Amino acid sequence: MTAQTIEIPAPPVSLTGDLTVPGSPAGLVVFAHGSGSSRLSTRNRQVATALNERHLATLLFDLLTPGEESDRSNVFDIELLAGRLLAATRRVAGDPACSGLPLGYFGASTGAAAALCAAAELGDRIGAVVSRGGRPDMARRCLPEVAAPTLLIVGGNDRAVLELNQTAARALRSPGEIAVIPGATHLFGEPGALDEVSRLAGDWLSRYLAGPDRPRSQ
């Protein structure tokens, strides 16, 4: 397992990311955090560690600079956030440690909307998308263009977001599923809830990035 801090060019700024690559990686998952969060999100890091244990490389990075975060409109600018995710994807796809690996996205909250729009832009280059407590409604225009198999993980007690995800699932043209974790709320803080998120995400990403369902075009 190797870990390094990298810089991601996203003119006019540069972003910081943490790239972790296990031995014999089977794929690379780029994370997009939610509003008010960063690459240091404890929830995303827990999921990333579980993915590393399944031989998936991970990149967690800051979607915005500290100065940009002070403007709340940036936090909800899905076009801007998706552009940053595309920049991060280009950066790690060209890294010698990750070159040629199948690519996937894991997005949380507003980051899930950014992940869906970036996946729509990249088409078959993205092998799978996972959303945790996501706001896919904020990516409504992108949903019909997403080609990657998409898993929407929602807490059973996060009722408003669950309805938004159910509506979004119907708009996807790619294979998609909703996984509801009973008793969980938006942040999956209940005992065992985030462990279940990690398991579901690991199963989905392993299946489509490294398993028999991996698209041949990748």
Instruction: Give domain status of residue 144, yes or no.
Output: yes
CA-wise closest residue to 138 among 182, 174, 187, 171: 171
Query: Is residue 218 one of the residues assigned to a domain?
Result: no
How high is the pLDDT of residue 216?
46
Does residue 216 lie in a domain region? no
Does the residue 215 lie in any domain?
no
**DSSP character for 61?**
E
User: Is 43 part of a structural domain of the chain?
Assistant: yes
Domain span at residue 41? 2-209
Whichever domain contains 110, its CATH number is 3.40.50.1820
pLDDT attached to residue 35: 82
Predicted confidence pLDDT, tens digits, the chain (218 residues): 899 999 999 999 999 999 999 999 999 999 999 887 889 889 999 999 999 999 999 999 999 998 998 888 898 999 999 999 999 999 999 899 898 999 999 999 999 999 999 999 999 999 999 999 999 999 999 999 999 999 999 999 999 999 999 999 999 989 999 999 999 999 999 999 999 999 999 999 999 998 766 654 44
> What's the predicted TM-score (pTM) here?
0.94
pLDDT of amino acid 70: 85
The confidence score (pLDDT) of residue 210 equals 83
Residue 92 lies in a domain: yes
Give Cβ neighbours of residue 120 (< 8 Å, ≥ 6 apart).
Answer: 139, 142, 143, 145, 146, 147
Is position 22 within any domain? Answer: yes
The predicted structure's pLDDT at residue 98: 92
192 Rama class: left (phi>0) / alpha (psi -120 to 50) / beta: left
pLDDT at 164: 95
The per-residue pLDDT for 212 is: 61
Note whether residue 34 is domain-resident.
Answer: yes
How many domains does one find in the chain?
A: 1
101 near 30, Cβ under 8 Å? no
